[in-house]
Structure 1
């Protein structure tokens, strides 16, 4: 933990500002987890309309990812983050006063767009502020801020919801506004953090090549099994533990806690140690751990075996997500870095939308672990395809000598 604190404290000033901005913003992510309960209990909507409203958040988020590269070509990353944070404060502030499906759908669409647009802008700012061999560490610090915030936010939200549902939305709005204020104040007088093509790029952003687009779509396709697999815990774990395995509900809480503690304690230090390790071995290690962990989840039948499996796939998560972001940023040219990172974000949202439907479609009472097995198997196939992709310059970006591993 001490090393993590030292690493965050040693980040360049723009990345320290981004870390705290993200931490405040994601701590405020407390209204969405209680949105369904608010709509069902306080708005009196049925399950169908409630599902429609919830789905619109994902639609808005996908629209943000698709629009981000265009917007980042016209405004700076900080300006786009400020806009997203401002809208993320405005929508929850008025949400308790909205009634009827149409106004709620419109508000949630805007809310999803505002919430998600911050992510590709933050990726762009990270690429601008970090050299290539520092990006895995920078992205792991960014993920740390997200995980810390989203661990605390729902806890506070649950307490507020028990008092008055409206307080959850207003607290959410207050945190988004505080994050915008922090970003605006700390960025005053500091040069804008990336925007596409107007500032000199950091070294390591490669010139466009005939293969760049094929390389990006190769890693995009190979990243989808990762995104789908890691969406499973949030949407399927409780059902698997309680209904599928018939275990006490607290084991689901134990699994979530093990995952969260592992990320907070080890993600940043491990990525510091692996900062100069080449992309291919890093990704192969991450995919291998992830695939093994999810296959073990499918075979688990007790609480302790679930915890052991969770340790394995958490190790995979710690390695693979910063590595994917680092690789996508490095294979991208100056003109396409924002576009590629924004498109990468669409994969995250597509997976999050599809995961619950696929999990329910695959699961069987006699074989509740099938979704985990399919996820693990897909990751193993992706591991093999990674080794195949690296054999051709058309599908794989080979790092410059300065980025080779030190192992």
Structure 2
């Protein structure tokens, strides 16, 4: 046990102080975003929208995220990551609070769309900041630390969110979301002042190539879209599956989601450090991670035992722990070819596109075809993503 603890602590060594501050800011911000996992339930139970309506709202969520990711990358290349992160955190906090006052279908669509444009400007800016604050050999673990912060916040957020819903209703979540975003912006202003923060990787390509003309990267982005299509179901259709088929309460759903965050907090960093020592490519790890996520959906159709919900969450979590850090590291390495904001924006946009189509498809599919058909399609999509990643490996070998 002592050696296990020592190895866990050792996996965090070598990361810069700025990366730790960025992780803390992310933790505070993410801990408050407890509305997102419950958004589909809120729109159905409190607002009274249909499954089809919720699918359209979640598409607005994805469309705003796509535009925000592109805009964030463009603004980062023009004004720098610090200003973009500060603007995004504070403004999205205000918008989260305002969202609770929207009650019509049309206004909610517009509100979610605008909120996500502002909120997702943060992502490419944060990735570029992470590149600047990390030594080249520490970038994958730096990404993992940020994900650890995200999931530590996410492990507490849904559990607390379930309690808040039970005691105060959904409205309380919007206040918590907004105030924590504003708090994160204040912390960013205090601890990551660009005049004091150390830049550890400031290399800039004098003849940058456009990310939009990088064929290799587009195959990678396409694979990430399919990965995201499967993964985001756990935050829209899967909670409804838990509720409708297994009759889980919001509190129990929150606990299942919290388990995901806790496992990532406890095991992802030492797992990534261990995997980095093995002689496998980052692409291989992303393939394995996507396979585990796809398998979690297949199991839903193979077993009716309630315990399969926990097993499915475990498989999804392990797949997420492996696929996200290494796919992010692939994007960060490739970004050195051109404008970093542009490359990291495309990586974020991949998941934004998933939000646009995945939630809408999932909601319409379970309404019209049922859960069994929907989970089979999601499994097939994961296989298509794996095939694209295998193509990526072939392109990489051919280019050597």
Mark yes or no: TM-score above 0.5: yes
Residue 404 of structure 1 corresponds to none
Taking the aligned partners of 1:150 and 1:177, their CA distance within structure 2 comes to 17
Cα deviation digits, residues 205-238 of structure 1 (max 9, x gap): 9974999710110101112221011112222223
After superposition, residues 310-325 of structure 1 pair within 5 angstroms as 310-325=313-328
Cα deviation digits, residues 56-81 of structure 1 (max 9, x gap): 44433222112122101111212110
Distance 1:53 1:8, change over 3 A: same
Distance 1:190 1:33, change over 3 A: same
Taking the aligned partners of 2:38 and 2:142, their CA distance within structure 1 comes to 31
Taking the aligned partners of 2:114 and 2:276, their CA distance within structure 1 comes to 37
Residue 189 of structure 2 corresponds to 184
Query: Equivalent residue of 1:392, what SS?
Result: helix
Residue 276 of structure 2 corresponds to 275
Distance 1:252 1:174, change over 3 A: closer
Match of 2:349 among 338, 346, 349: 346
Query: Equivalent residue of 1:368, what SS?
Result: helix
Distance 1:344 1:255, change over 3 A: same
Taking the aligned partners of 1:312 and 1:32, their CA distance within structure 2 comes to 22
TM-score (norm 2): 0.81
Matched, 1:356 2:359: yes
Query: Equivalent residue of 2:236, what SS?
Result: helix
Residue 128 of structure 1 corresponds to 132
Match of 1:76 among 69, 77, 80: 80
Relative contact order, higher structure (CA 8 A, sep 6+): 2
Distance 1:185 1:241, change over 3 A: closer
Residue 405 of structure 1 corresponds to none
Distance 1:253 1:281, change over 3 A: same
Taking the aligned partners of 1:109 and 1:210, their CA distance within structure 2 comes to 25
Query: Equivalent residue of 1:182, what SS?
Result: helix
Distance 1:334 1:263, change over 3 A: same
Residue pair 2:211, 2:342 contacting (<8 A) in 1 also: no
Residue pair 1:57, 1:112 contacting (<8 A) in 2 also: yes
> Which 5+ residue runs of structure 2 have no aligned equivalent?
none
Query: Equivalent residue of 1:333, what SS?
Result: helix
- What CA RMSD, in Å, does the superposition of the two structures yield over aligned residues? 3.9
Taking the aligned partners of 1:299 and 1:329, their CA distance within structure 2 comes to 38
Cα deviation digits, residues 322-374 of structure 1 (max 9, x gap): 11111111122353322121122122122123223322444489973332222
Taking the aligned partners of 1:113 and 1:209, their CA distance within structure 2 comes to 23
Taking the aligned partners of 2:380 and 2:48, their CA distance within structure 1 comes to 39
Taking the aligned partners of 2:55 and 2:363, their CA distance within structure 1 comes to 16
Residue 247 of structure 1 corresponds to 246
Taking the aligned partners of 1:145 and 1:381, their CA distance within structure 2 comes to 30
Residue 238 of structure 2 corresponds to 237
CA deviation after TM superposition for structure 1 residue 38, in Å: 7.7
Distance 1:160 1:279, change over 3 A: closer
Residue pair 2:82, 2:129 contacting (<8 A) in 1 also: yes
Matched, 1:61 2:65: yes
Taking the aligned partners of 2:49 and 2:292, their CA distance within structure 1 comes to 41
Cα deviation digits, residues 119-145 of structure 1 (max 9, x gap): 111111112222444222111211121
After superposition, residues 204-215 of structure 1 pair within 5 angstroms as 208=209, 213-215=214-216
Matched, 1:145 2:130: no
Bigger helix share = 2
After superposition, residues 6-405 of structure 1 pair within 5 angstroms as 7-8=11-12, 10-31=14-35, 56-94=60-98, 107-160=111-164, 162-163=167-168, 167-188=172-193, 189-191=195-197, 200-201=202-203, 208=209, 213-243=214-244, 246-249=245-248, 255-275=256-276, 277-363=280-366, 368-393=371-396
Query: Equivalent residue of 1:249, what SS?
Result: coil
Query: Equivalent residue of 2:95, what SS?
Result: helix
CA deviation after TM superposition for structure 1 residue 34, in Å: 6.5
CA deviation after TM superposition for structure 1 residue 241, in Å: 4.2
Query: Equivalent residue of 1:373, what SS?
Result: helix
Query: Equivalent residue of 1:11, what SS?
Result: coil
Taking the aligned partners of 1:38 and 1:242, their CA distance within structure 2 comes to 13
Q: Which moved more, 1:103-112 or 1:135-144?
A: 103-112
Taking the aligned partners of 1:396 and 1:231, their CA distance within structure 2 comes to 33
Taking the aligned partners of 1:274 and 1:121, their CA distance within structure 2 comes to 27
Distance 1:123 1:165, change over 3 A: same
Query: Equivalent residue of 2:202, what SS?
Result: coil
CA deviation after TM superposition for structure 1 residue 180, in Å: 1.1
